[in-house]
């Protein structure tokens, strides 16, 4: 795992830690996946679990070593790079949150279920520290984003591509025509986002939203030509 403290956190009363877990895929080779540990006081909250139970155990141990107490996690869609650690977190008494749509997909795929699924298109955790919202389909039909108002940071997850992304990546479960529309809704909902964390690759700013929209639109244009 690679750790990086975000400088943005220094001006707030929360601490943010980005982590990256890795998995060797058949189609794309070794792939990194981003997640965040959000800390207020001594209480820690996890946005997405690592890509394996082993890495989740290591992450939880690191959190304990810092003197923090992991209270809850929220996963931004059903894929393993977001949910693989849910079972372990359940076993140690951590509240695990996913949308009802994600929970349904996990159920259908016979995957471990979160213990606190939420209904509706929005969910607030830790008295507004984290605000999850469903704005539409894109990378998957169930992808959500998480807003941290105290840091003006948006965790876009796999709905958002990094600046260095030149291809669409894994799109077998994507809603391509909905994706640019959803990004437009993200722009309108979070115009004050100063930091945006994509699901994979380097952290950026609002330009990541434009970049993602451009990638998807270019891909759709090529499909129409073919």
Confidence of residue 225 (pLDDT cuts 50, 70, 90): confident
The pTM of the full predicted model, rounded to 2 decimals, is: 0.94
Question: Looking at residue 203, what is its pLDDT?
Answer: 96
Q: Is the pLDDT of residue 3 over 60?
A: no
Interatomic CA distance for residues 45 and 36, integer angstroms: 8
Per-residue three-class SS string for the chain: CEEEECHHHHHCCEEEEEEEEEEEECCCEEEEEEEEEEEECCEEEEECCCCCHHHHHHHHHHHHHCCCEEEEEECCCCCHHHHCCHHHHHHCCCEEECEHHHHHHHHHCCCCCCCCCECCCEEEECCCCEEEECCCCCCCCCCCEEEECCCCEEEEECCCCCCCCCCCCCCCCCCCCHHHHHHHHHHHHCCCCCEEEECCCCCECCHHHHHHHHHHHHHHHHHHHC
Question: Looking at residue 27, what is its pLDDT?
Answer: 83
Structure confidence by residue, pLDDT tens digits, 33-85:
999 999 999 999 999 999 999 999 999 999 999 999 999 999 999 999 999 99
Lowest mean pLDDT among 22-36, 51-65, 132-146, 178-192: 22-36
Structure confidence by residue, pLDDT tens digits, 107-137:
999 999 999 999 999 999 999 999 999 999 9
**Average pLDDT score over residue span 19-27:** 90
């Amino acid at each position: 795992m690679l750790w990086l403290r975000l400088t943005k956190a220094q001006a707030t009363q929360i601490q943010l830690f980005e982590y990256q877990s890795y998995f060797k895929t058949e189609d794309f080779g070794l792939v990194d996946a981003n997640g965040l540990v959000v800390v207020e006081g001594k209480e820690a909250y996890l946005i997405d679990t690592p890509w394996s139970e082993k890495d989740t155990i290591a992450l939880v141990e690191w959190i304990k070593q810092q003197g923090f107490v992991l209270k809850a996690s929220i996963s931004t869609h059903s894929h393993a790079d977001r949910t693989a650690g849910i079972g372990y977190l359940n076993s140690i008494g951590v509240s695990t949150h996913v949308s009802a749509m994600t929970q349904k997909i996990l159920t259908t795929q016979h995957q471990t279920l979160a213990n606190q699924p939420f209904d509706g298109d929005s969910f607030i955790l830790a008295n507004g520290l984290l605000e999850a919202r469903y704005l539409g389909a894109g990378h998957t039909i169930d992808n959500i984003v998480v807003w941290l108002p105290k840091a003006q940071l948006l965790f876009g997850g796999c709905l958002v591509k990094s600046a260095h992304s030149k291809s669409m990546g894994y799109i077998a479960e994507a809603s391509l025509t909905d994706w640019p529309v959803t990004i437009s809704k993200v722009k309108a909902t979070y115009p004050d986002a100063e930091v945006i964390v994509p699901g994979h690759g380097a952290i950026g700013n609002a330009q990541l939203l434009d970049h993602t929209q451009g990638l998807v639109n270019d891909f759709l244009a090529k499909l129409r030509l073919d």
